[in-house]
Amino acid sequence: PVVEEHMELARHATGKVIGTKGQQIAEVRQKSGSQVDVDKSPTGCRVRLVGTQDQVDMAKAMINAIVAPTAEGAEGVGGGEYLEIPKSAVGRVIGAGGSRIQELQEKSGAKIDIDRQPDRVLVRFSGFPENIATAKALVTEVLEGKLR
């Protein structure tokens, strides 16, 4: 039997769930086998999930892991770690059209987000500890100009 469920998420979560060029949501669709639609609304982000109960449950679990990477605590799976970088280095880390950050995510297997704050810029890493370590090393290489 096919079920339909909805998730209401904070508006800032929309981009995370969809991912760069839709890559994150494509992965959720592919791995869970469920149909996943994201609608941005003025108040938030509504996710519609359609599939078997197992497919929908898996998609929900994946989306929750994407949206709340710190739910398991910084040490656990999906934990987050931060690295503060100079504002002047943001462009180098992101690359033209996001190409560099995409490449760093693919190489490391970790999710890398840039969190721009008024006084500082944080690079947030989430994923498995070994992937985070690899991602941090790659970003550090970019900052030191070793990786071009």
Delimit the domains of the chain by residue range. 2-67, 81-144
Domains 2-67 and 81-144 agree in fold = yes
As a dihedral over the C-alpha atoms of residue 8, residue 11, residue 16, residue 22, rounded to 10 degrees, the angle is 90
Q: Is 33 exposed, middle or buried (0-12, 13-18, 19+ CB in 10 A)?
A: middle
Superfamily in which the 81-144 domain is placed by CATH: K Homology domain, type 1 (3.30.1370.10)
* Banded model confidence at residue 77, pLDDT cuts 50, 70, 90: very low
- 53-67 helix and 23-32 helix, angle to the nearest 10 degrees: 150
Terminal CA-CA length for the chain: 51
pLDDT digits (tens, 9 = 90+) for 129-140: 778 889 999 999
CATH for the stretch 2-67: 3.30.1370.10
- Segment 45-73 shows an average pLDDT of 80
Q: What distance in Å separates the CA atoms of residue 109 and residue 87, rounded to the nearest whole number?
A: 25
**Would you place residue 72 in the very low, low, confident or very high pLDDT band (cuts 50, 70, 90)?**
very low
